[in-house]
Amino acid sequence: MKFSVIIIVKNQENLISEAIKSAEFADEVLVVDTGSIDKTVEVAKKLGAKIAKMPTKNLAFARWRTAAIKEAIGDWIFYLDADERITPALKKEIIFIINPKPGTQNLEPEFSAYAVPRENYYLGQRVRYGGSWPDYVKRFFWKESLKKWSGRLHEEPVFQGKLGHLKNPIKHYTHRDLTSMLSKTIEWSKLEAKELYRAGHPPVVWWRILRIMLTEFWERGIKKQGFRDGIVGTIEVIFQMFSRFITYARLWEMQQNDC
């Protein structure tokens, strides 16, 4: 069985090398570039990755992930982000799954897709509370079963067969510094606001902004106990409140332009 790791990137020269190195056991590391203007592609090529160029108009992760299915040579494919790492334990688990057992080479696998646990690191610290990210992400697929990805912002795979769950995690080094956090919020809040606008969201008024921020504080800080991650957890809770504020402020601006 051949195994491909797919990494979708844009301007990730500082992260891509470690992601590729964690996936070096794969038969192919396919780096899908969506418009990098830094040295991301150059770094990836030096490490032996295959490069695929994709259209760059707007963020279209579902379309990019779907297009990468045809580009990959593997019977099994694994989607990895540039800020994620395959751990040694996960590597062993993947190898066990993709190597057919004697006498079963012609049989389809019991599970055609797997959800993978994810360890999240925020500002360099392991975080366990606050609910900022899903505990499991669907990333590992028998290629024949994976039909496409759908969804504008939070894309989901469309596949045939049963979903299994791996035991060992990928490490996710998100929000590495305040500058990258702000940049990501500026970029993603535009898309989130557009989705709310297209869905015909009710007019934004002062109490709606206040309510959405307080709801975020309750969910992350109190209900999911984000404070238990210490100062980093507190920063995350407050920052997510700010992120929701920016999204709704952008939505308000869009609605005002209609007046």
Class of residue 185 by CB neighbours under 10 A (exposed 0-12, middle 13-18, buried 19+): buried
Q: Do residue 76 and residue 159 come from a single domain?
A: yes
| CA–CA dist 143, 113 (Å, integer) | 9
Class of residue 176 by CB neighbours under 10 A (exposed 0-12, middle 13-18, buried 19+): middle
pTM above 0.85, yes or no: yes
Which residue, 200, 197, 251, is CA-closest to 243?
A: 251
Q: Do residue 97 and residue 159 come from a single domain?
A: yes
Q: What is the pLDDT of residue 25?
A: 97
Class of residue 217 by CB neighbours under 10 A (exposed 0-12, middle 13-18, buried 19+): middle
Which residue, 118, 122, 135, 224, is CA-closest to 181?
A: 122
Q: Do residue 186 and residue 144 come from a single domain?
A: no
Among 155, 174, 193, the domain boundary falls at 174
Q: Do residue 159 and residue 44 come from a single domain?
A: yes
Q: Do residue 122 and residue 206 come from a single domain?
A: no
Q: Do residue 83 and residue 25 come from a single domain?
A: yes
Q: Do residue 83 and residue 12 come from a single domain?
A: yes
> Sign of torsion, CA 172 178 184 189?
positive
Q: Please, are residues 157 and 105 in contact by the beta-carbon 8 Å criterion?
A: no
Q: Do residue 153 and residue 215 come from a single domain?
A: no
Element (H, E) at 49: none
Q: Do residue 194 and residue 165 come from a single domain?
A: no
Q: Do residue 234 and residue 114 come from a single domain?
A: no
pLDDT means over runs of 10, the chain (259 residues): 95 96 98 95 97 81 94 97 97 93 67 96 92 84 96 89 97 90 90 92 96 96 94 94 96 89
DSSP-derived letter for residue 65 is H
CATH number of residue 75's parent domain: 3.90.550.10
Q: Please, are residues 176 and 125 in contact by the beta-carbon 8 Å criterion?
A: no
Q: Do residue 150 and residue 199 come from a single domain?
A: no
Domain that holds residue 184: 178-257
Q: Please, are residues 172 and 126 in contact by the beta-carbon 8 Å criterion?
A: no
Virtual torsion, Cα 149, 151, 154, 158, nearest 10 deg = -30
Q: Do residue 44 and residue 164 come from a single domain?
A: yes
